Structure 1
Amino acid sequence: MKQIYSDIIQFRGTHYDFGFMQGKQIKDSFIVKNRKKAWKLREPKFQIDKSETKQILNEFAPGIWEELEGLHDAIEEPIESILRDYGGYRVEIERSGCSIFTGKDFMVRNYDYHPKTYEGRYSFFQPYDDGFATVGPQQRVTGRMDGMNEKGLALGYNSIQRKKPKDGFVCHMISRMVLENCANVDEAIAMLKEIPHRHSFSYIVLDKKGEAYIVEASPRSVQIRQSNMCTNHFELQKSENKRYLDDSYRRLEAMKKHQNQATDVYQAFRMMNDTDKGVFSKEYKNWGGTIHTSTYQPNELKVWFALGGDQKPIIFDFQEWIDGNDISLNQITGEIDTNLSFAHMEKI
């Protein structure tokens, strides 16, 4: 078992200042050092075009371009490197897992990935210049693995496949853009239809009305369906699916098996986080081990978070934070059944 942590990042201010502050935080960190080492071992299979990236980010989320400028000024590296590592446009990502279950007033999400990709940053951000306040775990600093905004819109994504990519945004940047700019499910669906997608992912959205929608988004098509659970395959765009889907269907069947007992937020959290229920995964070496479990309650604006399995969640009152009351914790701690290295904790 490995003791791990996520730092809690709290910020109220402009996107540029948020980026600058975070750049100073990570400049000499394992996060940056490990990423530099990774790029030395393999050349990127894409080219960064500053003008193109700036233009399309300003079209969908101008504040995030300002955040990238802040990162650039703080880290003091070429803008092309900043866009490659934090821009979320036209870049590549690794395969991953993930499972999501929703009820009328909650969304519970298991984030399944490889530890060496995990950056251990949990963000509360209230922009003063543009966009809604958001809460959620970070991916590549600017992106969000899942989250909720001040209007009660919650979002999580599940990987489908990375073949046949096109120019577009990757999952964690799409998540960030939707949460900052959309007040409800209808607006989120409209934006997900408009955004260019780099890879194939399902985006699950829930708001205060209590109806969850699954947006099956690929570089070729975006289709919408309703369901209260989702793993790593499309139901409508079956041609986009990977060949091997046994694990995806196994976790889906586990949720179906236990859903009659998962009628409230606590029981749903236990179904997802308990290691004996069949949804939580320990496939860390295969890029599909559960690192965190997130829970979002749109009507109460409360968020739950746990690192590792069989955990008691930390519960945050997001409304209290929006009202100006800072979180007293600096870190969230947990335990993972692996000996693999985490990107923010040690040299990889």
Structure 2
Amino acid sequence: MKQVYSDIIEFRGSHYELGKRQGQKFKNSIMMKNREKEWRKRKPRFVIDIKETKQAFQTYAPQIWEELIGLQEALQWPIEKILQNFSGYRLDYVRSGCSIFTGKDYFVRNYDYNPKTYDGRLVLFQPTDGGLATIAPSSRVTGRMDGMNEKGLVMGYNFMHRKKPGVGFVCNMIGRMVLENCETVEDAIHFLQEIPHRHSFSYTVFDKKGETFVVEATPRGVKVRMSNLCTNHFELLTEENRYHLDDSYRRMEIMEKDQGEITHPMEAFHLLNDPEKGVFSKEYHNWSGTIHTAIYFPKQRKMGFALGSVKQPEIFDFENWLKGETINKNQIDGELDTDLPFAQMEEH
């Protein structure tokens, strides 16, 4: 078992100031060294078009472009390198797992991936220059893999495939934009129908009304359905599905079978977080091991978070944080059943 942690980042200010603060923190860090090694092994397949990328951000999230400029100033990198590392536009994304289960007043999500690429940062951000406040684990610094905003909108995404990529944003940046731009599931659906998608993912959105929608999105089209469960296959865009979906169907069947017995949100949390239940995964070497389980309560504006398998998640009161309170700890501790390194903890 490996002892791991996620830093808790609290920031109130502009996107530019957040970018600059993050750049100052990451300069010469283990995470940045690992990122450099990653790019030496995996060359980008195209030349970054600065004008095109800036225009895309100006259309959908101009404040996040200012965050990229803040990162550039702190890291003193060329803008092309900043965009390659942090923009989430026209980049490639490695396959992953993930499972989502929602009830009347809660949203539970397993994030299944490889620890070598995991940021290890839970970010609470209250912008002063536009956009909604959010609580969310970060991905690639500027992206968000799941999360909740101040209006109680919750979002999580599930990988489908990387076939025939398009000109657009990758999942973690799209997730960030949804949380900062949208107040309701209707807003989120409209946004996901408009924004260009680089790869094929399902985005599950949930709000205070208790309705759950799964938005099946590819570079070629977007379809929407109501469902409280999501794993790693499309149910409407079936022609887009991968060939090997046995594990996705298996996890879906477990959740479908057990959901009728769940009477409390923590029972749903343990359905996804307990390895003996069958949804939690230890396939870290296959890019689909469960790194965190998060549970969101939109009406209360609270979040529970756990690294690895635990008895109870850490609970964060986002409602009180929005009123000016601070979190009384700096990190979340956990352990994973793997020998793979965490991106921010050790070089790999």
TM-score (norm 1): 0.99
Tell me how far apart the structure 2 counterparts of residues 43 and 319 of structure 1 sit (CA, whole Å). 43
Report the equivalent of 1:337. 337
Report the equivalent of 2:131. 131
RMSD over equivalenced CA pairs, Å: 0.7
Report the equivalent of 2:6. 6
Report the equivalent of 1:18. 18
Report the equivalent of 1:265. 265
Once the two structures are TM-superposed, the CA of residue 38 in structure 1 deviates from its matched residue by: 1.2
Task: Decide which moves more: 25-34 or 300-309.
Answer: 25-34
Once the two structures are TM-superposed, the CA of residue 263 in structure 1 deviates from its matched residue by: 2.9
Tell me how far apart the structure 2 counterparts of residues 46 and 223 of structure 1 sit (CA, whole Å). 29
Report the equivalent of 1:92. 92
Task: Tell me the alpha carbon deviations over residues 43-94 of structure 1, each in whole angstroms, 9 at most, x when there is no partner.
Answer: 1112211111111101100110000000010111111111011000000110
Report the equivalent of 1:193. 193
Q: How many pairs does the alignment contain? A: 348
Contact 1:8 1:121 (8 Å CA) reproduced: yes
Tell me how far apart the structure 1 counterparts of residues 96 and 246 of structure 2 sit (CA, whole Å). 14
Alignment of 1:61-76 (within 5 A): 61-76=61-76
Once the two structures are TM-superposed, the CA of residue 261 in structure 1 deviates from its matched residue by: 2.3
Once the two structures are TM-superposed, the CA of residue 264 in structure 1 deviates from its matched residue by: 2.1
Once the two structures are TM-superposed, the CA of residue 42 in structure 1 deviates from its matched residue by: 2.7
Tell me how far apart the structure 1 counterparts of residues 16 and 274 of structure 2 sit (CA, whole Å). 40
Once the two structures are TM-superposed, the CA of residue 258 in structure 1 deviates from its matched residue by: 1.5
Report the equivalent of 2:287. 287
Classify the secondary structure of the residue corresponding to 2:309.
coil
Tell me how far apart the structure 2 counterparts of residues 310 and 13 of structure 1 sit (CA, whole Å). 34
Classify the secondary structure of the residue corresponding to 2:275.
coil
Classify the secondary structure of the residue corresponding to 1:248.
helix
Classify the secondary structure of the residue corresponding to 1:251.
helix
AA aligned opposite 1:42: R
Report the equivalent of 1:317. 317
AA aligned opposite 1:296: Y
Tell me how far apart the structure 2 counterparts of residues 186 and 176 of structure 1 sit (CA, whole Å). 17
Tell me how far apart the structure 1 counterparts of residues 55 and 64 of structure 2 sit (CA, whole Å). 12
Contact 1:294 1:306 (8 Å CA) reproduced: yes
Mark the runs of 5 or more structure 2 residues left unpaired by the alignment: none
Classify the secondary structure of the residue corresponding to 1:89.
coil
Classify the secondary structure of the residue corresponding to 1:183.
coil
Tell me how far apart the structure 2 counterparts of residues 98 and 46 of structure 1 sit (CA, whole Å). 29
Once the two structures are TM-superposed, the CA of residue 194 in structure 1 deviates from its matched residue by: 0.2
Once the two structures are TM-superposed, the CA of residue 256 in structure 1 deviates from its matched residue by: 1.3
Once the two structures are TM-superposed, the CA of residue 311 in structure 1 deviates from its matched residue by: 3.7
Report the equivalent of 2:234. 234
Tell me how far apart the structure 2 counterparts of residues 185 and 42 of structure 1 sit (CA, whole Å). 36
Report the equivalent of 2:41. 41
Report the equivalent of 1:78. 78
Contact 1:122 1:137 (8 Å CA) reproduced: yes
Classify the secondary structure of the residue corresponding to 1:72.
helix
Report the equivalent of 2:51. 51
Tell me how far apart the structure 2 counterparts of residues 333 and 311 of structure 1 sit (CA, whole Å). 13
Task: Tell me the alpha carbon deviations over residues 110-131 of structure 1, each in whole angstroms, 9 at most, x when there is no partner.
Answer: 0000111111011000000010
Task: Decide which moves more: 307-316 or 224-233.
Answer: 307-316
Once the two structures are TM-superposed, the CA of residue 34 in structure 1 deviates from its matched residue by: 0.5
The reply to whether residue 254 of structure 1 matches residue 222 of structure 2 is no
Tell me how far apart the structure 1 counterparts of residues 175 and 242 of structure 2 sit (CA, whole Å). 22
The reply to whether residue 101 of structure 1 matches residue 101 of structure 2 is yes
TM-score (norm 2): 0.99
AA aligned opposite 1:73: E
Task: Tell me the alpha carbon deviations over residues 190-210 of structure 1, each in whole angstroms, 9 at most, x when there is no partner.
Answer: 000000000000000000000
Classify the secondary structure of the residue corresponding to 2:40.
helix
Tell me how far apart the structure 1 counterparts of residues 214 and 249 of structure 2 sit (CA, whole Å). 16
Tell me how far apart the structure 1 counterparts of residues 311 and 180 of structure 2 sit (CA, whole Å). 29
Report the equivalent of 1:151. 151
Tell me how far apart the structure 2 counterparts of residues 331 and 153 of structure 1 sit (CA, whole Å). 24
Once the two structures are TM-superposed, the CA of residue 159 in structure 1 deviates from its matched residue by: 0.1
AA aligned opposite 1:89: Y
Classify the secondary structure of the residue corresponding to 1:259.
helix
AA aligned opposite 1:60: Y
Task: Decide which moves more: 258-267 or 287-296.
Answer: 258-267
Contact 1:103 1:263 (8 Å CA) reproduced: no
